[in-house]
A and B are shown apart, each in its own frame.
Chain A
Amino acid sequence: MKVVVDMNKCQDHGQCVFAAPDVFSFDDAGRLAYVSEPDEALRAEVEEAADVCPLQAIRIEA
């Protein structure tokens, strides 16, 4: 599974971090960091993260 976050859209709401903490996190500077090719087993939580992003900035490719 491939995850792409449009960082021009992202406004650091952090809803994805709550939904999929294994994939999304905030770095020390408070900016979003994420695993771009997470394990397929995490699909449900990544989909949840994409759903709850207020800016709809998360895309799941394949």
Chain B
Amino acid sequence: MIKLPGLTGRIVVAGASMGGLRAAEQLRAAGWLGSITVVGEEPHLPYNRPPLSKEVLAGRAPFESLAFALRDSVADVEWRLGTRVTGADLDDRWVELERVDAEGTEGAGERLAFDGLVVATGMRPRRLRCPGPTVGRHTVRTLADAEGLRTELLRPGVRVVVVGAGFIGCEVAATAVALGAAEVTVVDPEPLPMLRPLGEVTARELLRRHRERGVRFALGTGVTAFTGDERVTGVLLGDGTELPADVVVESVGSVANTEWLAGNVLDLSDGVLTDEQLRVGGLPHVVAVGDVARFPNPRYDNVPRRVEHWCIPGDTAKHAARTLVSHLVGETAGPAPFAPLPTFWSDQHDFRLQSFGAPVLGTGDVRVLDGDTSGDVVMGYHRDGRLVGVVALGGRAAAGAAVRYRAELLRQPALTAS
């Protein structure tokens, strides 16, 4: 009997955010004609998260404006929303599901068989484990998070402490100032905001711009406890000071949602390790996409890393779908290794930070390529004398200038080849 490849069978996509959606679309684009089931814990169809720390907090973006448009090609995809994946056996090819609703959970232990699996369960915010009350402490990852935080930020005279001076923390601080919060203070053990990804020169300039626009900073110290009885009234710092706080935002990194993969002999030490084709555990029928995937990038040093940029779900989905479908339909040649040019942006106050390449690999040698540091500027990040990343800071002119260097980054041979 001739088996028509790709016509039958089921691919399960675990995770219904942007990575899950893009995976479903790209499975169809790669020729998969069998069924696709996407399982997601949130009650919503996939939506765009970057506005959560900005436009949604500021009240300028209703949910309808965040929902991704669904292509015709995914019209027959089965969406199992409000459903969590709790376990999997990758050899026997099933996942275990549990319904999640307001009252708790039900229907635990339902098994769903698959022929191929896409791991797209993403990340959740890391929480601070300090003594003190939990009421009044927020994270920003989901729509519900952002809506809950917005309500609190609108209280008159509100004093806000943001723990963590990374991109999300700095975006939230900027939005809180714009909403009219009485005090906004960002706390971080590092001496400068966004220091690790951007290096000292850029971080110092970002600190200056934030301060100029009304954000306060408590740097070089961490949080040791929260004060207050029922709800937070203050934040106790390692240097002994106490910051009064009506609202606390925790933006201290994230944790991979991979517990459900335990017991499958995988490297889950930081997300899920994949090869350069985004295959998981050497299995041809399991791939990972989005920020949960820890993949090597032969464009750089081949060290597997998770990448929490907005573009990554789309980039990984396109590649992983080809990998998976070519295996399931019996093609021998998969796609060429995955080697994306990373790119990210961050909107803070009235300026944008636009990055191309991997500035994090070149923070030891940062040069001004264009403009001047206090205005519209393009910074070049170098490793062993060669350009590995550019960061534009400022308005449209800066971003436009950075685009010229993007082409140069694309032309560079792989670091691993030099």
A residues lining the B interface (CB < 8 Å): 11-15, 17-18, 26, 30, 47, 50-52, 54, 56, 59
Given contacts A13-B345, A18-B406, A59-B69, contact A52 B314 (CB under 8 A): yes
B63 CB contacts on chain A under 8 angstroms: none
Encoded as 1 (CB less than 8 Å from any A CB) or 0, chain B from 324 to 352 comes to: 00000000000000000001010100001
The 9 closest A-B pairs by CB, nearest first: A30-B396, A30-B400, A51-B314, A12-B396, A56-B48, A14-B403, A52-B314, A54-B310, A54-B50
Residues of chain B from 4 to 29 with CB closer than 8 A to chain A in the complex:
22, 25
A59 CB contacts on chain B under 8 angstroms: 69
Whole-angstrom distance from the CB of A38 to the nearest CB of chain B? Answer: 17
By the criterion CB–CB under 8 Å, are B311 and A52 in contact? Answer: yes
By the criterion CB–CB under 8 Å, are A56 and B69 in contact? Answer: yes
A12 CB contacts on chain B under 8 angstroms: 396, 399
Residues of chain B from 389 to 415 with CB closer than 8 A to chain A in the complex:
396-397, 399-400, 403, 406
Encoded as 1 (CB less than 8 Å from any A CB) or 0, chain B from 245 to 266 comes to: 0000000000000000000000
A10 to B398, CA, bound (A): 17
Whole-angstrom distance from the CB of A12 to the nearest CB of chain B? Answer: 6
A15 CB contacts on chain B under 8 angstroms: 311, 343
A42 to B314, CA, bound (A): 19
Given contacts A51-B22, A54-B345, A56-B48, contact A14 B311 (CB under 8 A): no
Encoded as 1 (CB less than 8 Å from any A CB) or 0, chain B from 18 to 50 comes to: 000010010000000000000000000000101
Whole-angstrom distance from the CB of A20 to the nearest CB of chain B? Answer: 14
Q: Chain A: which residue is nearest B22 at the CB level?
A: A51
Q: Chain B: which residue is nearest A59 at the CB level?
A: B69
Can you name 15 A-B residue pairings with CB atoms under 8 Å?
Answer: A12-B399, A13-B345, A13-B354, A13-B399, A14-B400, A17-B403, A26-B400, A30-B397, A30-B400, A47-B71, A51-B314, A54-B50, A54-B345, A56-B48, A59-B69
B71 CB contacts on chain A under 8 angstroms: 47
A12 to B402, CA, bound (A): 13
A15 to B396, CA, bound (A): 14
B397 CB contacts on chain A under 8 angstroms: 30
Q: Chain A: which residue is nearest B68 at the CB level?
A: A56
